[in-house]
Chain A
């Protein structure tokens, strides 16, 4: 059977469209449009072309065995040397060509140990404003074997900000223990043994009632029976800086 003339013509048009589509799909359009594989291959090549900058912990160990052993026995065993000292491939190639940096600033440690509520429970963290401000971490902690150098003996070890505030006030010379009773356990497990706070007005009254027994008593005196109702003093007065608020 002979095909009608119009079908042949229509067929040619459709065939031409199909041919153009196939040409586009198979010849002209790049393979990267259809598959993720070339992207992956390109990424590998791109990364491989980059110069090698890190030497690796095994190379560091060859010369710095002592530091490595120390670190390997401590909490930082899984932290690579170059994490803190920077890429050291050039140093490994020629020890005199480049010296790896020796980070001694607080920021270097705070990157991991600065307080951040999203860090896992139990991860050692400090509030940089509270914890020995202006002091370098490495002056107390050995970064290759970081254990707390010693349990803090003074309150300022953790409560530095309060100490600094108190130092500017008329209460500067009062020891913390004159108002707070602190259990020994608070030094090692601070949250499980909280220090006391004054629970009666007499604690302040030791100095601030007229005719107080303490010779160094403040000139600021108040009649405890008439002043402040039943409130404890620190509910209105901030004892670490009494001048600050009323």
Chain B
């Protein structure tokens, strides 16, 4: 039998076996859900969070956040386009992806993901962006030449009507879609948490709080990503930041972190108080294999330190430059912290034996399909797509090219 296993796999398994602590079952030594399954909820979380931030403008009329409305929408779209890729790569048969739409299996949450994803992408995000950008697309098609004219014409679906009534309709339509979009964004990421939360055989995952914890952490990561991009873009373009907007995002981020922290703390306290039979191994897991990624990176650096900074920013009158720096640092810390949270959930849940008597190890590959390089490429891809989208659909174009028509 062993002759049939390629050496590299053999080496990997023997390495993993040498890292095992205590007793494990034979089929547990290999980590089935690896780094790509960590990347997937991270990307979808950012989509949901960025969309929720954008909805503040449309639905809740938070005018301060208006400057980042389009940025948030395009961020959501560029991360959304990549969100399904880790799953496709993990499953290894992208050519069969269409089958989940044609052979629906309503009793399986995993099999319904395609519909959740498609609804959110086609039913919400693209239509909202289209209504938001239609006026600009019509004008861009008129003002550009050659290939670009064709592209913008096609993107605007060759509509020409920019009468005040038509624009008012666009506005109303995108508001309506955002109202439908909020529960859809909740569904998209709550669903990811649901997948983990419904694995009742795994006490690290199986918790009814899981969908809501995922959702709140998604909102935190989405807001942090938009904040990060907003500050970064202003630095790159040498533009002045709208500090009212940034402070408002900071406030929402603070509120979201407090709720997220409360929920996660509730989850842990509940587990500790319940002290089910798994608590022994989970305590061992957190204090050994996950100590760095959970206690240090996720909790201290990714949550408590940003919380402290955001509270400080609100209570002490720092000057603009310092505030910008602090916001930038906070957003980065949160983005790393939430990634670490996804890691701790996905990898952590596979690091202890179902016998509750042993711990496994995960050794990440550097190259190959399910590897560090793929994960880095997938994490970089949304930024590349975002750059293209920014070139194609400049968010500030209306201000400079059609000041009279800007709404």
Contacts and interface: CB of A to CB of B under 8 A. Distances in A.
Q: Are A and B subunits of one complex?
A: yes
Interface of A: 4-7, 9-10, 12-13, 17, 21, 24-25, 29, 33-34
A13 B134 CA distance: 15
Interface of B: 99, 101-103, 122, 127, 130-131, 134, 157-161, 165-166, 169-170, 173
B99 A6 contact: no
B166 A4 contact: yes
A10 B161 CA distance: 13
Is chain B's interface secondary structure helix, strand, loop, or mixed overall? helix
Given A4-B166, A4-B169, A5-B166, A10 B102 contact: no
Contacts of A25: 102
Contact of B157 (A4, A10, A17, A34): A10
B102 A6 contact: no
B169 A33 contact: no
A4 B173 CA distance: 11
B159 A5 contact: yes
Given A4-B169, A29-B102, A33-B99, A10 B130 contact: yes
Contacts of A6: 131, 134, 157, 159, 161, 166, 169-170
Contact of A33 (B102, B122, B131): B102
Contacts of A10: 127, 130, 157
Nearest to A34: B103
Is chain A's interface secondary structure helix, strand, loop, or mixed overall? helix
B102 A24 contact: yes
B166 A13 contact: no
Contacts, number: 36
Contacts of B130: 10
Given A4-B166, A4-B169, A9 B159 contact: yes
B151 to A, nearest CB: 16
A24 B158 CA distance: 27
Nearest to A4: B169
Contacts of A13: 157
A34 B134 contact: no
A34 B158 CA distance: 38
B161 A4 contact: yes
A2 to B, nearest CB: 10
A10 B133 CA distance: 13
Given A10-B127, A10-B130, A5 B161 contact: yes
A24 to B, nearest CB: 7
Contacts of B158: 9
A89 to B, nearest CB: 40
11 contacts: A4-B161, A4-B165, A4-B166, A5-B161, A6-B131, A6-B166, A7-B173, A10-B127, A10-B130, A25-B102, A34-B103
A5 B169 CA distance: 10
Contacts of B160: 5
Nearest to B158: A9
Contacts of B99: 33
A12 B130 CA distance: 14
A9 B157 contact: yes
Nearest to B134: A6
B4 to A, nearest CB: 24
A188 B399 CA distance: 105
